[in-house]
Structure 1
Amino acid sequence: MALPPIPIKVKRLWEAWNFRVFIILSLLLQALLVLASPFRKRTRSKLLLVFIWLAYLLSDWIAAFSIGLISNSQEDSESESEDACKPKGKPKGREDVTAFWASFLLLHLGGPDTITSFSLEDNEFWLRHLIGLILQVLATAYIFYQSLTDQSKLWIPTTMVFVVGTIKYVERTRALYLGSLSRFGYSVLPEPNPGPDFKQAIEIYSSMRTVVVKMQTPEVGTNPVYNWKPLEEIQLLEEAYRQFEIFKGLIVGLLLSSKDRELSRDFFLTRTASEAFRLIEYELNFMYEVLHTKVNVVRCPTGYLFRVFSFFSILGALMVVSIKERFMFGDKKSDVFDVRLTYALLIGALGLEAISVLMLIFSDRTLLALKRSWRKVVPKIILTRARWSRSVSKYDMISYCLNNDAPKWMDTLVVYLGAKEILEKMKIWRFSSSGPVSGDLVEFIFEELRMKSRTANDLRAAMDACSQRGDWALLQTSRAIYFELKWSIVEYQYAESLLLWHLATELCYLQETEIKPSADDDHGNSRQICKLLSDYMFYLLVMKPVLMTPVLGNWQIVLQDTCAEAQRISGRRSISKKSVCEKILEVKTKIRPLAVKGNKSKSLLFDACRLAQDLSELKINKWKLMSKVWVELVSYAAINCRPNVHAQQPSRGGELLTFIWLLMNHLGLGTQFYEQERQAGTKMVPQK
């Protein structure tokens, strides 16, 4: 059965307004990307990130689709002149205006300076964007060529905007290319250094005698920058950029020399916790700009020249259009709309260009380029503004188990569609929360890692320190406690141990919910630090397992078996978390669950109950001990995460795990260092 034909009125309406609507939408998406994309590095709002992601994807598609519609409309206009029987939905004689609009769409395809890629994977598709650049420039040039007649009045402003659009698109493609990991890895390599001509050196040394000259080795700490004097904000920014230039090779797996390790370690050991985290915040912001914006192609003499040229070209196009307006448009209602649309495109382009220039002026790199005398007049708010979300997402396993039930029809639909993982993540998004990264947490993490760094005087000791995942914290407390609790760490894989300590932390925490706050501030702070790190790591485990892929093992089996046992205790009915914990803690666990249940189930529920009971019986501040263990569990995951995964996090609000990874490397606790031969204490000097 044939489908009914589309009414002629609908066809005319579509032909007259299709690309106009899409052009307006394209302009709105550009404004949204310019204004909203900088916020994605300092927010954890999933709604905003999804909104930016949709705008990023739609902006390219709509601009390219609109160019195709304009090209098709020109072909229809030509065929209308040959076939008078066809319905005339598009007014004739306006090809120069539509060609002018098409040049703006090419400018939109170039995208704003504030976002070139949404993720690192987008950078790897730079070749696809290069092909798109060639095709879209040719398509727009074809539209422009078709509009050139004796009556064309817009060829000058169209040429101006076409050139600007081409420049913008080339800049974006080049930024994607420079941000790809392969090209980025090549850019961080030092210049080739073949060393002195060995043959010539041998001949010279053969004809001379040598004497030994004692060399003085500078003492560690003599560099004036390595002192305990607090640094001003602009000095922190300068140091962060210097450290970024040295450590950016970590992203692509480059090994750094032991000399770089020692210099960085000496410097960070003399900093406070707030200074260290502020330095890393600046450093990660530089990483974000290099990988996801046009900073590499804009911040150079050619880039500055193109910015000036682009702004004045669009301004010149606006002046030409305002002068020739009455010759280009008529008095019909559609003509009035076209006039307004043309001015909207021109003023919008000027406004977005001005915003981009302002962002460029107030960027960190511009502040670094200013002379010291000019830096004093820079408002402090520009330097101290947030460059990451300064928060972490939280979720706990007992809530996960209690909220895991769903109607049977939904389970059937999920199985049929294969969308179980999506449904589970939607549940976690619904019930999870976020918490601020407090100064106490930053101070505690930094002091724990600094203590480790002071004991790691060489690379072997640093490697040993990175391999600890809680046992070092137990041993530092007391040998008796270490032998009593080491089973919870050494007898399990990392992910299993993490789930075990997470459940034990939750049981201990809920056990004290009715206890009045202690007068001991240290006790209360340690308790909150434990809870925050515990819930944070569980959230990463279930929502962002890619951050811990190298150390996960069979965590999913352990998680589902543990949840099944927790649901059996709760009776699969609505029950509070505290009630579930009370039922779990009522069980006597003097005998190991493995001895009773065997290997059939991988559940850790009652192993966690045993650990919680052991911790409660300690005669020391258990929360202080647990917080030390949690710092080790977090740092172990951070240092074992793939560097390119860490590099993705600044564009998603930032992750505390990434901060800890970079901090560990700066403190000399990373695994990407090689032993550089130390400078000899003597040298051979040729003499006649």
Structure 2
Amino acid sequence: MVNPIPESVKKTWDNWNIRGVILFSLLLQTVLILLAPLRKGMGYKLIILLIWSAYLLADSAATFAIGLIAERATNSQTPTKSNELLVLWAPFLLLHLGGPDTITAFALEDNELWLRQLFGLIFQAGFTFYVFLLSLPGNKLFVPTILVFIAGIIKCFERTLAMYLASGEKFRESTIIELAKDVKVNQGGDYLQVACEYFQIFRGIVVDLFSNFTDFPFEGPSFGIFGPEDALRIIEVELNLVYEVLHTKIQVTHSVTLWFICFGSLVAALSVFYFQVEKHGLNDFDLGVTYTLFLGGIALDIIAFFMGNFSEWTFAAFRNHPNSCIVRIIRRFLNFKNSRWQSSHTGGKHDVFVFATPFLLRRWSGSVSGLSAIKAHQSKRIIKFLQIDKIIACFGLADFANEIRIKTSLSQEPLTKELWVFIFNEIKRKSKNGDEIRRKAESGQDPEINDPEENVGLETLRDEAKFCFQGKISPATRAKLNSSVNSMPLDQAKRMVDRLQSLDYLKDKKWEIVSKVWVELMSYAACHSRSTRTHVEQVSNGGELFTFVWVLMAHFGLLEPKSED
């Protein structure tokens, strides 16, 4: 039988497999540390796919390389300088298994696997140490190997500890401990300081201890004193802190002690290798790989240091010392991340201001998702015309095809300043009205209607909203709608417009009323269509306006209490 793999290919693989896999592992670490922070500020599917692929491959590549080195060291009959270099490379792979500081978990579920991660890292560390023992007693690279091994152990410890602290049970426990302390929001502070203080309360909402900021007793001003732009910045910082706690090593690395030990070990190992190790007889390419590993590891550590220490989390740790030099430097840097608006000509009577923060500095994507029902309906007609729908139905893929069609009909538009200000003012108004109604109800008075005409219009359209959301549809009609999901929004929109047009005395206010009802529907959907966990998960994928509306309503005390079901 002919061998399907030529001998030349086998020989090339045997000679270069370890070098290739190690350099590939270093490349994956570079991709993760540089791109992982961008996913919360961009939301591009291609970037998220690249990060996800690198995240999954990183551990596998490092583990595979350790196995190859162990096999080579075990099969080697006599120690050589090349084998000593392989032994030095092994602890670098522990560094890679520890992962970059900018991502420990791609999804929240990954944090729950911290115990499995711990056992895996212990096993790999033991395997690496076994490879090191095989090189004794004649290993001339003993000192740099030990120093890199120490750095690798620290990195693995940081990753496991960060995952443990971010796991559901431990995060909830630490939140309860934090909330047991006196929480105070400083009215005189800037938005960064206020956001960091609000974050302590927001953690309780994230773990479902309570639903609203108003449910927790704290000393500080009402959220209503802030304007729309400050409110947006505060919510941005709150969600960004949630992301850093649940997806990065920030809870562990904000203390620089371990970083200095790890960084110092790498620098000392490089110094010993460069100045004291005899290079005669070593392969030039292998020397290049070794220096690449050293310099790459040091460079990634420096990048991680600046990313971690010039962050909202570090500012929160030093917020009680607002006049210190460190806080002033960090505040100046973080101010570059502020939401920025840029004038954009849309063809109307006036320009609009759209979200235009540079993508490298964004805390979220700043985009608003929309569904083009017409585009979705057109794609359905094409499928029907080509009779593909019969094939899809034959394989039982109708629901899946509908889901794909809707996703391909989604559009992303930048958030406009006018839209955010309108949403903020409407939700703030709802909060004030709710407080007034509760106050009068408690005193036995009947709530008054300030604007009867507007109320009639809102009630008319709210009836349609309830029809949409509460599911008052017969089973037969629901089955028909499920098979043609795109007709439902169009029919409801037409019915709402017809109702509004029939009220002659409201025609002058129709767009104002439609806008208010749109906010009503959005706030209802933000509260009821997603769980708290889903909102938190969305932060790592670029964030959505829905999530910001949800947090805004929590600040104003408009979220419904969690049911025991």
TM tier, smaller: 0.7 to 0.9
Deviations 1:478-505 (A, max 9, x none): 35435644541344434789xxxxxxxx
Aligned counterpart, 1:105: 93
Distance 2:251 2:44 in 1: 28
Cross-structure match for 1:529:
none
2:411 corresponding residue in structure 1: 433
Q: Residue 344 of structure 1 corresponds to which residue in structure 2? A: 292
1:661 Cα deviation (Å)?
Answer: 1.1
After superposition, residues 142-221 of structure 1 pair within 5 angstroms as: 142-150=130-138, 152-190=139-177
Query: Are positions 1:312 and 2:264 aligned together?
Result: yes
Deviation track 1:515-574 (CA, whole Å, cap 9, x = no partner) reads xxxxxxxxxxxxxxxxxxxxxxxxxxxxxxxxxxxxxxx9785253354xx6xxxxxxxx
Picking from 524, 535, 538, the partner of 1:649 is: 538
Report the counterpart of residue 469 of structure 2 in structure 1: 493
Aligned length: 517
Kindly, what percent of the aligned residue pairs are identical?
36
Partner Cα distance (1:126, 1:245) in 2: 24
Does the 8 A contact of 1:177 with 1:183 survive in 2? yes
Contact preservation (8 Å) 1:462, 1:669: no
2:210/2:216 contact within 8 Å kept: no
Q: How many Å separate the matches in 2 of 1:481 and 1:22?
A: 66
Instruction: Provide the rounded CA distance (Å) in 2 between the counterparts of 1:12 and 1:242.
Output: 61
Within the candidate set 296, 311, 314, 1:363 is matched to 311
Aligned equivalents of 1:481, 1:192: Cα separation in 2: 43
Whether the 8 Å CA contact 2:40–2:364 is kept in 1: the answer is yes
Deviation at 1:77, TM superposition (A): 2.6
Match of 1:86 in 2: none
Q: Which residue of structure 2 lines up, in the alignment, with residue 85 of structure 1?
A: none
Post-superposition offset of 1:51 = 1.0
Equivalent position to 1:299, from 254, 264, 273: 254
Equivalent position of 1:635 in the other structure: 523
Q: Distance in 1 between matches of 2:396 and 2:58?
A: 30
Please tell me the residue identity of whatever aligns with 1:144: F
Tell me the C-alpha RMSD between the 2 structures. 3.5
**What letter corresponds to residue 615 of structure 1 in structure 2?**
L
- TM, length-normalised to structure 1: 0.68
Match of 1:452 in 2: 430
Task: Determine the C-alpha separation between the residues in 1 that align with 2:83 and 2:336.
Answer: 51
Deviation at 1:428, TM superposition (A): 5.1
Which digits, 9 at most, give the CA deviation of each residue in 1:108-148, with x for residues without a partner? Answer: 01011111111111111112211211111111111111122
Work out whether 1:610 is the aligned partner of 2:495.
Answer: yes
- Counterpart in 2 of 1:561? 484
Measured in 2, the distance between the counterparts of 1:61 and 1:282 equals: 34
1:322 aligns with 2:211: no
TM-score between the two structures when normalised by the length of structure 2: 0.82
* DSSP 3-state at the match of 2:484: helix
Relative to structure 1, is the Cα distance of residues 250 and 224 closer, same or farther in structure 2, using a 3 angstrom cutoff?
Answer: closer
2:8 is aligned with 1:9: yes
Partner of 2:102: 114
Instruction: Write out aligned runs for 1:489-528 (5 A).
Output: 489-494=465-470
Q: Is the 8 A contact 1:477 1:625 kept in 2?
A: no
Distance of aligned partners of 1:263 and 1:326 in 2 relative to their CA distance in 1, 3 Å threshold: closer
- Per the alignment, do residues 663 and 379 of structure 1 end up closer, same or farther by CA in structure 2, a change over 3 Å counting? closer
After superposition, the Cα gap between the structure-2 partners of 1:426 and 1:29, relative to the gap in structure 1 and judged at 3 Å, is farther
Q: Quote the residue 1:255 is aligned against.
A: 210
**Cα separation, 2, equivalents of 1:352 and 1:239:** 32
One-letter code of the match for 1:158? T
1:339-387 Cα offsets, whole Å, 9 max, x none, are 0000000000000011111112311233342541524555745324131
Q: Answer with 663-672 or 263-272: which moved more.
A: 263-272
Quick one: distance in 2 between partners of 1:383 and 1:67?
A: 43
Q: CA deviation at 1:610?
A: 3.2
For 2:200 and 2:120, the matched residues in 1 are separated by 32
Query: Aligned AA for 1:613?
Result: D
CA distance in structure 1 between the partners assigned to 2:401 and 2:459 by the alignment:
42
- Is 1:387 the counterpart of 2:363? The answer is yes
Q: Is 1:481 aligned with 2:439?
A: no
Map 1:542-581 → 2, pairs under 5 A = 558-563=481-486
Which of the residues 372, 379, 386 maps onto 2:323? 372
Tell me which residue corresponds to 2:352: none
Aligned 8 A contact 1:124 1:176 in 2: yes
In structure 2, runs of 5+ residues without a counterpart are: 338-361, 442-447
Specify whether residues 487 and 409 from structure 1 end up closer, same or farther in structure 2 by C-alpha distance, changes over 3 A only: closer
User: For the structure 1 residues 177 and 672, does the alpha-carbon distance in structure 2 shift closer, same or farther, using more than 3 Å as the test?
Assistant: farther
Determine if contact 2:527/2:550 at 8 Å carries over to the other structure.
yes
Structure 1 gaps, min length 5: 82-90, 194-222, 464-471, 498-553, 567-602, 675-688
**Match among 111, 119, 130 for residue 123 of structure 1:** 111
Higher Cα Rg: structure 1 or 2? 1
Distance in 2 between residues matched to 1:187 and 1:462, nearest whole Å: 39
Q: Give a deviation string over 1:57-104, Cα, whole Å, max 9, x none.
A: 1111111111112112223334xx7xxxxxxxxx95522211111111
Closer/same/farther in 2, CA of residues 36 and 255 from structure 1, 3 Å limit: same
Aligned position for 1:402 = 378
TM-superposed CA distance for 1:621, in Å, is 2.5
Seen in structure 2, the aligned counterparts of structure 1 residues 604 and 363 have a Cα distance that, compared at 3 Å, is closer
